[in-house]
């Protein structure tokens, strides 16, 4: 494991929702974190077929362009009844012809696909959010931290917090969707606490334990 030197890091994302979550997660550690958007960097094409590959593409582009360590996240919704779809194409399901993203449309598409395979009962609608965080240095060396959150897909959507598919994802052991939870509830982890809730918080927890001396 390579040591992080300094307290400056690039968050290799243009996604406003992800940037908010990373800001919440990194706030306790005193990092000066700037986004790829703040550096004026373009979004690289995500041509990978795994979360790890896409996370590396984004982190490497930001690290080499800025000369700073970069953190990226590639994440998605994996639905068992749909053979793992949408998976790495989670954001693509929300894409509009003008390049914008409509996640209400994406949630409706997911529900339509579940209806097609007659996945009507909760036990048939299992899945998980997956997040892979990549820490990449300017020379291309990288490390990966994977987090998963198990749950079921509900319909209709519930709540207007979070982003993406949060309103239809009911995490295991909870009565409210991610879309009904505050950011603090969804992350479910702070330094000194044992268990994170969201997939991104669980991945970040592993990163923090590896590089920030967090127990």
User: Is residue 135 very low, low, confident or very high in pLDDT (cuts 50, 70, 90)?
Assistant: very high
Q: How many residues does the chain have?
A: 215
pTM: 0.90
Q: Strand runs (DSSP E) across the chain, as ranges?
A: 8-11, 32-35, 70-79, 126-136, 142-153, 169-171
What is residue 80's predicted lDDT score, i.e. its pLDDT? 98
**pLDDT value for 28:** 77
pLDDT surpassing 90 at residue 54: yes
In the structure, what pLDDT confidence band is assigned to residue 109 with cuts at 50, 70 and 90? very high
Residue 87 DSSP one-character state: G
Q: Are 175 and 157 in contact (CB under 8 A)?
A: no
Q: Is 74 a catalytic residue?
A: yes
Q: Is the pLDDT of residue 65 over 80?
A: yes
Per-residue pLDDT tens for 111-131? 999 999 999 999 999 999 999
In angstroms, how far is the first alpha carbon of the chain from the final one? Answer: 17
More confident residue, 79 or 207: 79
DSSP label at residue 33: E
H/E run at residue 140: none
Short-list 29, 23, 58, CA closest to 212: 29
Taking residue 104's Cβ as centre, other Cβ atoms within 10 Å add up to 10
Out of 73, 74, 80, 139, which one is annotated catalytic? 74
* The domain over range 8-211 is classified in CATH as 3.90.420.10: no
What are 144-191's pLDDT values in tens digits? 999 999 999 999 999 998 889 999 999 999 999 999 999 888 876 665
Is residue 32 within 8 A of residue 7, CB to CB? The reply is yes
| Among 40-49, 184-193, 206-215, the least confident range | 184-193
Distance CA 49, CA 37 (A): 24
Average pLDDT, the chain: 91
Distances (CA, A) of 144 to 104, 168, 182, 186: 30, 27, 27, 22
């Amino acid at each position: 494991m390579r040591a992080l030197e300094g307290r400056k890091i690039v968050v290799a994302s243009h996604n406003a929702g992800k940037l908010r979550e990373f800001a919440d997660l990194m706030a306790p550690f005193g990092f000066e974190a700037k986004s790829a958007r703040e550096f004026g960097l373009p979004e690289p094409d995500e041509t990978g077929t795994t979360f790890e590959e896409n996370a590396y593409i984004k982190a490497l582009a930001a690290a080499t362009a800025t000369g700073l360590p970069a953190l990226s996240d590639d994440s998605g919704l994996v639905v068992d009844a749909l053979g793992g779809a949408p998976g790495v194409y989670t954001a693509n399901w929300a894409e509009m012809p003008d390049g914008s993203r409509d996640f209400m449309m994406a949630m409706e598409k997911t529900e339509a696909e579940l209806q097609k395979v007659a996945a009507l009962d909760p036990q048939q609608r299992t899945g998980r959010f997956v997040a892979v965080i990549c820490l990449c240095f300017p020379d291309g060396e990288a490390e990966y931290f994977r987090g998963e959150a198990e749950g079921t897909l509900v319909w209709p959507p519930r709540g207007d917090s979070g982003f993406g598919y949060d309103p239809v994802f009911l995490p295991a052991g909870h009565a409210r969707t991610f879309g009904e939870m505050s950011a603090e509830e969804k992350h479910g982890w702070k330094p000194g606490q044992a268990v994170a809730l969201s997939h991104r918080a669980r991945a970040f927890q592993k990163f923090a334990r590896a590089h920030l001396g967090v127990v």
